[in-house]
Every structure is written in structure tokens, then in C-alpha cells.
């Protein structure tokens, strides 16, 4: 990671922000290209179901989403659509609370009431890291994983993160044990909790920066490419030695 390839003297400008490339439409029947009236009705009913599930549960088992699709292409579309709706739901609620919101990624500008928050794609890696640095709070919202690699990319800049809490029985990718809630990041599991914690951390900038600095140090020490490569080589070397010694 280009740790020093951004302006560390710039000021935080955005209250809360996240990265998500959106689909060109938020209407499901347009995304799966329904042709008959029956297909459109079926897609509209599923769209209502998805939006209700997002509002009431947020996290949902990935296999349930896959079961809605009749083809692999449809399944991939539904996975992407559910993820999009989850991000959209939180973005809309943050917008209603009048936070200064930053939305990085494609197609946010096609959603009229969120267009003013759209930042588009980062032009280069320097700008990409700069955005994490300039955000007072960075969000990571994934329906099946408790974290995304962006926590490491933003962490190397000292960014503060709030992560969407995915239940253990649903999560496909657990957060590394070295990352400790309240020390290196914080969780939220509902709109109410997100708004409450957003207000809290905006009012307590010293604590927010302290947690961000803890994450920066941990990423440098444990999750830099250099550290990860050394760990991979160490494990690979041990595996070779076991094979030579006839160990399983």
C-alpha cells in the first residue's frame, strides 16, 4: 500500500462515507431484463421482498438469495442487487439525518436524491487513499462478510471504520482475530445504531482518531503486503519441511 502517497495535512471533509459500485438501475425487472408481464410482476414482488428483508433484517443467508435465481446469471444479479439495496438503505437514512455523506463508486449519481453525495470513482490510487483519510467515518457494509479489504486500505491511512455486523451463522468471512471492536474499529447492526454511533464519534473526534491510529499501526505491523508475504513464506516453508519429514 502506498502509505505516504497522499496529503496527510489535508482536513477531514466528509462526516461519513463508503465505497460501492451501484447497478445502472435500482429497478429489479430492468436488471434481469423481464420481457413478459408475468416476469415483470414476479420481479416486482421479489423486489418488494428484498427491500422488506433489508429493512427488517439486513443480513440474510447467501444461499437464500441464490435460491431465488433460475439461472447462474440471475443468481449473480440477485446477490448484487441485495448488496446494493442494503447499501442504498443505509445511505438514504444517513441522507435523511443530513450528515455530510460521501459515496464513492459508479452510478450513485443516477439516484436523484443521493446525486449530491456522489463522488464518482477515484481517479487514481492517491485520490483513493486520500478519500479514506478525509472521511471522518468510513463504512463497510457487506451482507455476508464481516469485513472487506478496504478496512486495510483505509486503515493504512489511519481511517476510522464502522463495520456492518453480520451474524456469525451467516458470515462467510470472519474478521481477523487481531482486529478488536472498540480498539481498531466499531460495529453497528441497525440504522438506529449507526446513526447513534455516527453522532457519538463525530462528537468525540479524539477517540475516533485514536481508534483510527490503532488500526493504522496494526495494519502496518500485521497486514502490510510485506508482513503477509513473510507469513505466507513461513507457512509454505513449514509445509515443505513436513512433507520432507513424511508428516501429514
pLDDT tens-digit series, residues 98-149: 999 999 999 999 999 999 999 999 888 888 888 998 999 999 999 988 778 8
pLDDT of residue 221: 85
State mean pLDDT over 230-242. 59
Which strands form 161-164's sheet, in the order they lie side by side?
A: 118-120, 101-104, 14-19, 135-140, 161-164, 186-188
pLDDT tens-digit series, residues 173-206: 788 889 999 999 999 999 999 999 999 999 999 9
Phi, psi (5° rounding) for residue 73? Answer: -65, -45
177 contacts 146 by C-beta, under 8 angstroms: no
User: To 5 degrees, how large is the angle CA 222–CA 189–CA 104?
Assistant: 65
Q: How many residues does the chain have?
A: 248
Question: Which pTM value belongs to this model?
Answer: 0.86
pLDDT of residue 109: 95
Phi, psi (5° rounding) for residue 202? Answer: -70, -35
Report H helices in 180-246: 191-203, 205-222, 225-244
- Quick one: residue 189, left, alpha or beta (phi over 0 = left, psi -120 to 50 = alpha)? alpha
pLDDT tens-digit series, residues 80-89: 999 999 999 9
* Max intra-chain CA distance, the chain: 66
137 contacts 211 by C-beta, under 8 angstroms: no
* Residue 151 grid coordinates: 478496512
Q: How confident is the model at residue 2 (pLDDT cuts 50, 70, 90)?
A: very low
Q: How confident is the model at residue 37 (pLDDT cuts 50, 70, 90)?
A: very high
**Does residue 231 surpass a pLDDT of 70?**
no
Amino acid at each position: 500500500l502506498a502509505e505516504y502517497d497522499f496529503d496527510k495535512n489535508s482536513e477531514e471533509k466528509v462526516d461519513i462515507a463508503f465505497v460501492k459500485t451501484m447497478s445502472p438501475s435500482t429497478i429489479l425487472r430492468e436488471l434481469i431484463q423481464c420481457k413478459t408481464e408475468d416476469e415483470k410482476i414476479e420481479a416486482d414482488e421479489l423486489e418488494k421482498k428484498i427491500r422488506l428483508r433489508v429493512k427488517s433484517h439486513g443480513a440474510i443467508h447467501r444461499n437464500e438469495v441464490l435460491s431465488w435465481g433460475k439461472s447462474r446469471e440471475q443468481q449473480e444479479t440477485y446477490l448484487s442487487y441485495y448488496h446494493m439495496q442494503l447499501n442504498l438503505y443505509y445511505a438514504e437514512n444517513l441522507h435523511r439525518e443530513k450528515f455530510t455523506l460521501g459515496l464513492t463508486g459508479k452510478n450513485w449519481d443516477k439516484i436523484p436524491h443521493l446525486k449530491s453525495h456522489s463522488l464518482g470513482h477515484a481517479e487514481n490510487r492517491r485520490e483513493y487513499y486520500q478519500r479514506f483519510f478525509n472521511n471522518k467515518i468510513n463504512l463497510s457494509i457487506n451482507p455476508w462478510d464481516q469485513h472487506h479489504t478496504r478496512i486495510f486500505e483505509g486503515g493504512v491511512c489511519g481511517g476510522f471504520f464502522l463495520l456492518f455486523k453480520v451474524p456469525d451463522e451467516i458470515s462467510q468471512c470472519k474478521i481477523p482475530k487481531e482486529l478488536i471492536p472498540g480498539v481498531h474499529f466499531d460495529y453497528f447492526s441497525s440504522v438506529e445504531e449507526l446513526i447513534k454511533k455516527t453522532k457519538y464519534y463525530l462528537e468525540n473526534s479524539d477517540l475516533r482518531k485514536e481508534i483510527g491510529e490503532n488500526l493504522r499501526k496494526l495494519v502496518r505491523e500485521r497486514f502490510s503486503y510485506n508482513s503477509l508475504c513473510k507469513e505466507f513464506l513461513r507457512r509454505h516453508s513449514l509445509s515443505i519441511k513436513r512433507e520432507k519429514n513424511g508428516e501429514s
